[in-house]
A and B are shown apart, each in its own frame.
Chain A
Amino acid sequence: MNALSIRNLRKTYANGFEALKGINLDVEAGDFFALLGPNGAGKSTAISIISSLTNQTSGTVSIFGHDLKKQRNQAKTCLGLVPQEVNFNQFDTVMAILLNQAGYYGTPKKLALERAEYYLKHMDLWDKRHTVSRRLSGGMKRRVMIARAMIHAPKLLILDEPTAGVDIEIRRSMWKMMQEVNQQGTTIILTTHYLEEAESLCRNIAIIDQGLIVEHSSMADLLARLHIDHFVLDLQHPLTVAPTIAGCHIDLTDSKTLSVSVPKEIGLNHLFSELTQQNIQVASLKNRTNRLEQLFMDLVEAKTTGGQP
């Protein structure tokens, strides 16, 4: 059964802006799914509709087979939401936030306390449980929202840019935590604009741009389609003009740095033998951009499909 199934979802805001132009999306149960897109693509709009914070203009959403319109309560029970912006009561303590949320879901107090202890300890927040939430750091607030979303043991966890503006150490601990949650059987949908994050965590991916899904496939398929690699070469000796090698695109960034695009079928061996022949000594080599980032830019810039792939 699909954890999430969206059909023809449209949203036109009151000011006439069409944020979603008919999207279809399927997320399998147990999946770790990435929803990518530039700012303003409509990711948060889609998530608000899924989590009943906004009403759709048309289209259907079902969560674990429960239609959002007809079986809203069952659908809501399956879902945990980590919103993009902090939205808990800034005057409540961490513990109160968790216990209140558990109460709204009808979780008995004893069970709620057990779960709160588990997630707070798990997220290094146990020492802060009696702290008023407004005194927490940004990263802590994010983790409180994750703990809050898990307090009713949802089957589907949606995180809207949970790692935005969070330092690398905390980001890594959040990745680890999300992976653990996923391994324990919770389906996760993650929106992010850190593409490396999606690349290392997610099995399937959808890319949304200007209210349309421009890509919906597995991460492996998507990466396989990248047939050009981009490198930066540091040279031993300065050059004045860039060398030319058939099939490759080479730019001279500065006198001792080359920026090279190599198609997979040509390969690095060929590149280096050509460079050696032209008597160019390479000191070191690094990947220029994240490959996914490159693909993402291509997809978003091209906008050729104009609908479902």
Chain B
Amino acid sequence: MSYWIPFKTILVKEIYRFVRIWPQTLLPPAITTALYFLIFGKLIGSRIGTINGASYMDYIVPGVILMSVISHSYANVVSSFYSTKFQRHIEELLVAPVPNWVILSGYVFGGIMRGLLVGLVVAVIAMIVFRDYHSIAKHCLGNCAHDRNVVFISRFY
């Protein structure tokens, strides 16, 4: 319990960091996935039709969302920690009585928050591109974990 304040400080600092530099952290996944959805989803996907009752969009959207979540949460921890080390303000953490596991969890949860936020952004983009709110919401909330894309991606990572 006594480590709650240091943990919260690191987490808030991390969230503040990626929100402040949103053109570098939130905008790129929005643009790349928008292009992806437009080109593969709309143009190519519309020609594929349904396979076993699932449209190409049903198939692709949850996978792309989860791929963004995973890759951006990893990327956040890496780039944030690297710049902390490079600018040497990691020393602020090292001189303070914060155990390593608190530092680690602060950064990990910061990464999780970035991943979730990117996932949300991508989901919103998908809704805009495909205008099929019901199906995407259903996939994001319910079926994500069972999607074969997800199984594939989680093996990949």
Contacts and interface: CB of A to CB of B under 8 A. Distances in A.
Interface of A: 51-53, 72-74, 76-77, 79, 81, 83, 85, 87-91, 96, 99-101, 103-108, 148, 152
Contacts of A100: 9, 13, 92
Contact of B95 (A51, A85, A99, A107): A51
B87 A101 contact: no
Interface in B78-101: 84, 87-89, 91-99
Contact of A101 (B16, B88, B96, B99): B96
Given A90-B87, A106-B5, 5 more contacts: A76-B96, A81-B95, A87-B88, A99-B9, A108-B5
A74 B13 CA distance: 25
Contacts of A90: 87
Interface residues of B, number: 23
Interface of B: 2-3, 5-6, 8-10, 13, 16, 20, 84, 87-89, 91-99
19 contacts: A52-B95, A53-B94, A73-B97, A73-B99, A76-B96, A77-B97, A85-B88, A88-B89, A88-B92, A89-B89, A99-B9, A100-B92, A104-B6, A104-B10, A105-B6, A105-B96, A105-B97, A108-B5, A148-B92
B95 A79 contact: yes
B5 A52 contact: no
A106 B8 CA distance: 10
A76 B8 CA distance: 20
B88 to A, nearest CB: 4
B37 to A, nearest CB: 33
B6 A106 contact: yes
Contacts of A96: 13, 16
A107 B5 contact: yes
Contacts of A104: 6, 9-10, 92-93, 96, 98
A199 to B, nearest CB: 29
Contacts of A74: 97
A104 B7 CA distance: 8
B12 to A, nearest CB: 8
Nearest to B5: A106
B97 A53 contact: no
A224 to B, nearest CB: 37
B15 to A, nearest CB: 13
Contacts of A99: 9
B87 A87 contact: yes
Nearest to A83: B91
A106 B3 contact: yes
Contacts of B95: 51-53, 76, 79, 81
Contacts of B13: 96, 100
A53 B89 contact: no
B81 to A, nearest CB: 13
Nearest to A109: B5
